Amino acid sequence: MSLEKELHQREFRNEFQKVLINIIHTNNYLVSKMNDVLKPFDITRQQYNVLRILRGRHPGHSTVLEIRERMLDKMSDASRIVERLRLKGLANREFGSKDKRSVEVTITQAGLTLLEQMEDDINTLEKLFKNLKLEDAILLNESLDKIRAEKYSRQKKN
């Protein structure tokens, strides 16, 4: 369904305004679908993201700072998320062996098992893109990268 029909809006100021609203609307749709998938596992998107980061470092560890830098949701409080995962038995945290100010975080076997149990459900999210051809997906990824590239060019100027 077109954005105009979904939002009951006849027209947009220009195509760039439409892109902005379309991305926001699509993001909200995808977030809702992701929440639906994660709900039966009693885990949030941010907790899932941290578990994936930790699995990528397994059997090693990550610091809270490294987790924060790699998280998709930059507004999340990584320390609080790690603590919730620890309380659920999905992650461990210890003070750094070399630097007592840093906290080393690892995924537990229970965390690895949970991610494994979730795999099929998470993979169903990719089916949301079944209407795209491979070329469409490549073009969409390149276009989204271009939008974010502006962010990095501004950072270099400062």
Within a domain: 76: yes
Residue 63 and residue 16 share a domain: no
Same domain? 120 vs 62: yes
Full residue range of the structural domain in which residue 125 is found: 43-129
Is residue 79 domain-shared with residue 120, that is, in the same domain?
yes
| pLDDT tens string 52-108 | 999 999 999 998 889 999 998 877 798 999 999 999 999 999 876 676 677 889 999
Comparing 66 with 157, the larger pLDDT belongs to: 66
User: How far is residue 99 from each of residues 63, 91, 102, 106, measured CA to CA in Å?
Assistant: 11, 20, 6, 16
Q: What is the mean pLDDT of residues 131-158?
A: 83
* 115 plus 56 within the same structural domain: yes
Q: What is the CA radius of gyration of the chain?
A: 19
Top pLDDT among 42 and 150 is at 42
Assess whether 54 and 114 both reside in one domain.
yes
Same domain? 35 vs 113: no
52: domain CATH number is: 1.10.10.10
Token code pair at residue 80? 């609080």
User: Is position 8 within any domain?
Assistant: yes
pTM above 0.75, yes or no: yes
Rounded mean pLDDT, 39-55: 96
Establish if 1 belongs to a structural domain. yes
Same domain, 98 and 70: yes
Mean pLDDT value across the chain: 89
Q: Are residues 109 and 32 in the same domain?
A: no
User: Would strands 103-107 and 62-63 be described as parallel, antiparallel, or unpaired?
Assistant: antiparallel
Using DSSP bridges, classify how beta strands 91-95 and 62-63 pair: parallel, antiparallel or unpaired.
Answer: unpaired
Tally of domains within the chain: 2
Instruction: Flag whether pLDDT at 114 surpasses 70.
Output: yes
151 pLDDT band (50/70/90 cuts)?
A: low
Distance CA 94, CA 70 (A): 20
Average pLDDT over residues 122-149: 93
Residues 34 and 16 in one domain: yes
Domain assignment present for residue 155? The answer is: no
118 lies in a domain? yes
